Structure 1
Amino acid sequence: MSRFIESILIPTDGSDGALAGARRGIALASRIDADVHVLSIVESRLQASDIDELDLPSFEENAEEAVEEIARLATDHDEEIDVTTTVRTGTPFQSIREYASRREIDIIVMGTKGRTGLDRVLLGSVTENVLRTARIPVLAVPPSADDPSVTDVPFDRLLLPTDGSDGAAIATEWGIEIASRLESSIHALYSIDTSPIDDERASNDLLEFMEQRGEKAIDAVREHGEDAGVSVSGSVVTGAPVREIPSYATENDVDLIVMGTHGRTGIGQWFLGSVTENVVRQADVPVFCVPVSAEHP
C-alpha cells in the first residue's frame, strides 16, 4: 500500500500549544508511516532589534531545545519514525511555507497558540497566516483540545462539513482517504444559513431548495465513502456554519474536523474560506484544513 502522506512538518516554539500540535502530528505519522520534520524559527526581526539586553544566542538555544524535545517525543513513541530537525532564522509563517515547499512536505501540523512578544511569536496568528497561504493541508490543533498522550490520540470519528463545492469535494477526498487509512467513521454535515433571508415565503421556498441541495451534497460524500469502504452518515442542519460545525463536533465527540478552505459564496451557501478560519478559532477539536491547491490524495 502506497503512502498518501509521506512527510509531516511540525513547527514548534517550545510552547504547550506547539506540543499539543506535535502530539497529533507524531500520532498521525506513526499510524500512516510518514516521516516527521520538526522546524523552529528564530524571528529575523530579533537580529535587527535595538534592545541591548536581548540575548539572541539564547533564542537560538531555545529553538534547538524545542526541536529536540519534539524529536525525542517522536522517537520515544515510535523508534522507526524518521525525524529531521531544523532551526532557521526568518519570518515564521514564510519560513514554514518555504520549508514545506522546498522539502515537498505533504501536510503541516501545528498548534493554534504559542508564545508571544520577545518569546518568539510562532503560533497563533502565525497559524492563521500559514492557513491562508499554504498550498498543502494544515492540521490546526487548538489549546482547548483534549491533551492525550501520543499513544492515546484518537482519530475514530471525523466530521466532514460540505457545501457541494469544488473546495468541499477536494476536502472530501482527503477526509475519505484519512478515514480509510485510519479506519475512522465520517459524519458529513451540511449547514443552511437562512440569516440573509428576510421574506418568510421566500425563506420557505429557498429552505426547501437548500435542503435538497444539502441532501445531494451528503449523498455525494456517502457514495465516495462507500467506494472506499468508509462508513458515512450525514445531517442537514439549519444555522450559521461557523456555529453549527464547532457545536456538532463538541456535542458528538468528534476527534477531527476535515474541511476545505474555499467553497461557495453568497446565498449559494459559502461557508468555506473565512468560515474555516472561524471554525479553527472556535472549535475545541483539531481542524484539518484542505486548500483548493492541494493535490488529490
Structure 2
Amino acid sequence: MAIVAAIDDSERAVAVLEQANELADRYDVSLHIVHVADPAVDFREEFTDVSENALRASRVADEIMERAQDTAADIASESAEYVDGLEEYEAVGLVGDAAEVIRNYASEQDAEYIVVSGRKRRPLGQALFGSVTQALLLNADCPVVAVPQDDL
C-alpha cells in the first residue's frame, strides 16, 4: 500500500507533499511522489528535433518516452527537497493523460489515498481544459485528498 502524491512543478507541490507525508507516516505506508509529463507539451523540442519519418519509428518514440519519464521523476525528486522531514519516498515519472495515468498508478499500488492540489479556475476554464483534480475526485478507486488552494 502507498500514499500517492500527484504533483506538478509549481509551488503547490510542497503543500501536497507535506500532507501526503503526514498521511504516509500516520498509516505507516510508503510515499510515492508522482509527476506526469505530457510529451506533446513538456517535450515539444524533442519532437521537433526528429524528422517525421524517424518519429514514427518505435525506437525513437520509446527513447522520447523514457526521457520524459526520467525528467518527470527528476521533477518529483526535486520537489521533495523542499519539504522538511521528507526522507523516504519513491519518485515516479509517468507520461500521458495525467488523471488517467495517476488513477491507474494508484490502483496498481493499492493506494490508501491520492493527494492532489487543484487550481482555481473560472467555470469556462474548467469546461475547456478539464481538471485533473476533478477527474480524480470523480473516478479514483480510493479516497482523494485535495489540498485547499488557500493553504498554498
Give the corresponding residue for 1:177.
22
TM-score, normalized by length of structure 2? 0.67
Q: Kindly tell me: are residues 241 and 202 of structure 1, through their superposed partners in 2, closer, same or farther at Cα, counting changes over 3 Å?
A: farther
Contact 1:183 1:230 in 2 (8 A): no
TM, length-normalised to structure 1:
0.37
Render the CA deviation track for 1:40-72: whole Å, top value 9, x for unaligned: xxxxxxxxxxxxxxxxxxxxxxxxxxxxxxxxx
Match of 1:201 in 2: 48
**1:35-46 alignment, distance < 5 Å:** none
| d(CA) in 2 for partners of 1:174, 1:161 | 11
Distance 1:160 1:283, change over 3 A: same
**Structure 1 residues not aligned, in runs of 5+:** 1-155, 264-272
Q: CA deviation at 1:170?
A: 1.4
User: Could you tell me which residue of structure 2 aligns to residue 262 of structure 1?
Assistant: 119
Aligned positions of 1:11-30 closer than 5 A: none
Paired position in structure 1 for 2:73: 215
- CA displacement at 1:245 relative to structure 2: 0.5
2:32 alignment partner, SS class: strand
**Partner-residue secondary structure (3-state), 2:39:** coil
- In the other structure, the counterpart of 2:7 is 162
What SS is found at the alignment partner of 1:293? helix
Q: Does 1:278 align with 2:124?
A: no
Deviation at 1:280, TM superposition (A): 1.1
Which residue of 1 is the match for residue 109 of structure 2?
252
C-alpha distance in 2, partners of 1:213/1:166?
18
Q: Residues 224 and 183 of structure 1: is their aligned pair in 2 closer, same or farther, counting only changes over 3 Å?
A: farther
Matched, 1:235 2:89: no
Output the CA distance in 2 between the equivalents of 1:277 and 1:220. Answer: 26
Identity %, equivalent residues:
24
Bigger Rg, which one: 1
Compared CA separation, residues 252 and 212, structure 1 to 2 (3 A): closer
2-structure distance, mates of 1:179, 1:230: 12
Distance 1:238 1:245 in 2: 10
TM-aligned CA deviation for residue 228 of structure 1: 2.3
Q: Secondary structure at the match of 2:142?
A: coil
Contact 1:180 1:229 in 2 (8 A): no
Shift of the 202–172 alpha-carbon distance from structure 1 to 2, 3 Å rule, reads farther
Of 229-238 and 164-173, more deviation after overlay is shown by 229-238
Question: By percentage of residues, which structure has more helix?
Answer: 2
* Match of residue 53 from structure 2: none
d(CA) in 2 for partners of 1:158 and 1:212?
21
Shift of 1:292: 2.2
- Alpha-carbon distance in structure 1 between the residues aligned to 2:20 and 2:26: 10
Structure 2 unpaired stretches of 5+: 51-60, 121-129
Match of residue 55 from structure 2? none
Aligned length: 130
